[in-house]
Every structure is written in structure tokens, then in C-alpha cells.
Structure 1
Amino acid sequence: MSFARTYGPACLLVFLLLGVWEAVARIVNLGFILPSPTSVILKLLELKDVLFLEHLPATVSIIILGLTISIIIGVGIAVWMNLNRTIERTFYPLLISSQTIPIIALAPIFVLWFGYSIWSKVVVTVLITFFPITVNTYDGLKRASKNYQDLLLTMGANKRHIFFKLQVPASLPYFFSGLKVAVTLSVIGAAIGEWIGSQAGLGYFSRRMMTQFDGAGVFAPIVLLSLLGISLFVIVILLEKMLLKWRKFD
């Protein structure tokens, strides 16, 4: 299937929306409220040095650190719940309840606890991203075929063999599905943390431009955040295809 046939309709829709946005922005002519896409691009080029050399690395470091911690915690809890029924009954309701708390309301508390250091932003990112990783990995471990488990048991396999030979491979597609969600949420978590309290980062820079009523300056780092999220999503997809060669991808 050709690239044009696969992604053509989506690209056409994006260009159409950008065209409508450009036309409306020029008609309204209130750049501090609704900047046009061309003015945002020009502002992005104007601020490229400060955005790419100072604020983008700060945001990326938060995302990488937050995702790393989320993967360790999420996979660890999922495996623990899979191995112990009591742990599952204890932690699973708490996992669900943790997602009912508005993270943006907790972000100022983390600033009080950790100050303006990187850790206040990392904690926000972890709280947002660990849930899809945990739940999807746990579901994948539980979806391992019972028939294959019985077959392995008849062949003399123990629990360790079943876990590494059957459950882990079965859970990998689910893990990557959760990771795809987590990487996009990590950008949101980092931006929220930087908005609430930070001295660097794309979210911080967007908030600073807002205090100066610079509409294009507000949108420029947001565009970078969006591109960052898309890039991370593509990287996960490529990593999934590389590691799961046995799985059929359309």
C-alpha cells in the first residue's frame, strides 16, 4: 500500500484545517489571541536557538526520565499482580482510583515538595504515564493461552518456564500498546509540570510568552511539543516492529 493512499487523506485534512485557520486568523487580525500558522512558523524560526538549545532538552530529559520510571514501576506492578492474587486484589482498585484524581491539581503540591527541580515535573509525568503501561502489561500477562500453559505443564515446565516462554512474549504486544499511549501522555505531563512551576522547558516558555501577550510565541513551543509527541510515538512503533518481528503488521 502506497504512502499517498495510506496517509493522503490525513495529510489533506491537516492542510485543509491549516488553510482555514490561516484564513480565519487573517480575517480576525488579532495575533495575540489567534496567531496564523505562518506567524507561528516565523516565530519558531526566530526563537529556534533558545527553543532547541535550552527549552527542548529540558522537556526531553523530563520525558525520558519519567517514562523510564513509569516502565520500571508499571511493569513491576503488573508482574507482581500476575504472580500474586492477593496483590492483584489490593493494587488493582488503587490503580483505577489513582486515575480519578486530577493530576493538574496535585502538580502545585509537588512543586512545594520538590521545588522547581526536575523531580516535580518527573513525578507528574510518572503519575500520568504509568497507568496505561501497568494495565496493558497486566492484561497481556493474563491473556496467555491456557491451552499452551497446559501443554507446557505436561512437558514438565515449571512456573518460571511458563512465565518467560509464554506469558512474557504474549504480553509484549500489550506492553507496546500501553507504551504508545504513555509516550503521548508523557508530553502532556511534562508540559503540565513546566506550566505549574519550572525555570526551563517548552511548557514554561509557552507560559512566559502568554504573560507577554505573544500569541505566536505561545503556539511555537506547543507545536514543538506536538512534534515531540508524534516523534516518540513513531519511535515506539519502529521499536515494536523491530522487536516483534513474529507479529504481523498491516
Structure 2
Amino acid sequence: MSGTPSTASAPTGFRVSLPSLRLGWLRRFGVAVLTLATLVLVWEAGVRIFAVPRFILPAPSAVWTETIAVGPALFVDLRATLTTVVGGYIVAILVAFPIAVAISSSRAASSAIYPLLLVKQSIPVVALAPILTVVMGTGESARITITALIAIFPLVVGMATGLSAAPRELLELSASMKASWFKRLVDIRLPCAVPHIFGALKVAIGLALIGAVVAEFVAAERGLGYLIYSSTAYFRLPVAFGAMLVLSCMGMLLFQAVVLAERIFFPWAVGREEDPA
């Protein structure tokens, strides 16, 4: 008899929480869609009422019509930008991780590397991009390098912070049990660093998108950044606005992909902000 209440209460809690989570998600999604639709309607009405010229501020209807008229070429530009973003993002992660490990493991390495990172971060990528283009050419490698450079700083800082956040008691205990440096890194430091790492990954994916667009402004024949640059040069502002909207959608999808990866592979590291209680 004592086991009956607990058995019955577990499904009840599940039945209550799951609809609550779905309702909360639908409420947030509905508010976002309603806000966006209101802004679009106000934009369209304002342009029509005040007769704003198209080359200054196009109406959303004009943006939609002329962007669709670009046709398959838009998907070619989309693929080119996505390739640069993903390539630069992966390169930034591969470079940032060993640097973060070195910084979190040695004070000497931290003192030597951090000033160089700050010098790199203080140089605007817009100023650095033309120099890299001259040195590396106008190929994909230059654009990926520019993208990686702008995304690497938050990755190093976030990863190093997370790797340094491991409880010292656990590290000392594992050292007393003759655990190797690599085993302490894998079993203690990395699990503690997961929330910080994914926080840095979320920031870096947006910066990678910015870096890709800047690189396409400087040296590219394809890409959404190049489409924006060439469209504004010929006063085709509706197409430029359309490319910017596509870029924003790409950024949101890439960000959500990082969030989804965290929820799938490290669900224990995700906060409980969606708890219905």
C-alpha cells in the first residue's frame, strides 16, 4: 500500500509539467510573432503614408518582392556565407581550445598569451581584413581566417574561465590519487567547464557571422555580405534589406543549433529556466 501513492504521483507530475512546458513555449513564440508582425505592419504603413522613396527605405512588400526575384542566386550566396561561417567557427574552436587549456593550466602561459589576445581584440576586424586579403589572397581561406579571428577571443576567455572553475578540492584529491594531468582535465576540468564553453560558443557563432560578412565586403564574389554591398552600390535597397533579413534568420538558426547541441549532449548543464514552478 505504501508504494501506491508514489507510483500514481509520478505520472501525474509528468502530465502536468509537459503541457506547461509546451504552453510556455507557445506563449513566448506567439508573443515574438505578434511583435514582429506589428513592426512589419507599422513599417509598411509608415512608408506608404509618408511616401518614403524606395532608395531610402523600402516597404516590406518591396523587400519581399525584389528578394524573391533574385531567385536561385540567393541560395548560392546563402551557401557561400554559411560555408565561411561554419568553416571559420570550426577553426576558431580548434585554435581556442588548446590556448584555453594552456592559459588555465599555467600562469606563465596566461601571462604570455592574454596580452597577445588583447592586442588582437583591440584591432578592428574591418582594418585587419584588407591586410589579410593582400597577404592570403581573395580565396576562401582568407575569409575563413577573418571569421575565425573575430570569433576566437570569446571562445578562449569562456573556455579558460570554465576550465579554471573546477573545484580545487577535487583537483587536489585526484592529484593525491596519482591521476595524470590529462585524466584530471577530462574527468574534472572539462565537465565543470561545459556551461562556460557553451556560453562562449553561443557568443562566438554570432561573431562568426559578423566576421564572414566583413570578409565578404572586402574580398568575395559570392555571399550575402557581397550581395548587400553590391545592392547598396546600385541603390537596390530592397535586395539589401532582404539579404540582411536572411542573415538574421541564419544567425538565429545557428544560435539555436548550438543551444540544441547543448540540450542533446549535455542536458545536465542546461539551466532550469523553463521549469514551470
Fold similarity call, TM over 0.5: yes
Moved over 4 A (4+): none
1:23 to 45, 57, 62: 45
Unaligned runs of 5+ in 1: none
Contact 2:159 2:197 (C-alpha < 8 Å) held by counterparts: yes
3-state DSSP class of the match of 2:96?
helix
1:202 to 224, 239, 247: 224
* 1:223 partnered with 2:274: no
**1:61 and 2:83 are equivalent in the alignment:** yes
CA contact (8 A) 2:85 2:208 kept: yes
Q: Structure 1 residue 198: deviation in Å?
A: 1.1
1:40 alignment counterpart: 63
Per-residue CA distance 1:109-163 (angstroms, 9 max, x = gap): 1221222211221121111101111110000000011122233334443322221
What's 2:26 paired with? Answer: 4
RMSD of equivalent CA atoms: 1.6
- 1:122 paired to 2:144: yes
8 A contact 2:162–2:196 mirrored in 1: yes
Q: Which runs of 5+ in 2 are unaligned?
A: 1-20
Residues 189-211 of structure 1, C-alpha deviations (whole Å, 9 max, x = no match): 11111112211111111111112
Residue 50 (structure 1) aligned to one of 70, 73, 77: 73
| Contact preservation (8 Å) 1:116, 1:199 | no
Q: What's the offset of the Cα at 1:178? A: 0.6
Identity of aligned residues (%): 32
CA distance in 1 between counterparts of 2:253 and 2:270 reads 22
Aligned: 1:166 with 2:188: yes
Amino acid at match of 2:125: I
For residues 204 and 160 of structure 1, the distance between their equivalents in structure 2, rounded to whole angstroms, comes to 45
Counterpart check, 1:141 vs 2:181 = no
TM-score (norm 1): 0.93
- Given residue 15 of structure 1, which amino acid in structure 2 is its aligned partner? A
Deviation at 1:79, TM superposition (A): 0.7
Residue 38 of structure 1, CA deviation: 1.8
What TM-score do you get using the length of structure 2 for normalisation?
0.85
Asked if the contact 2:152/2:204 (under 8 Å) is kept, the reply is yes
Residue 108 of structure 1: CA displacement? Answer: 1.3
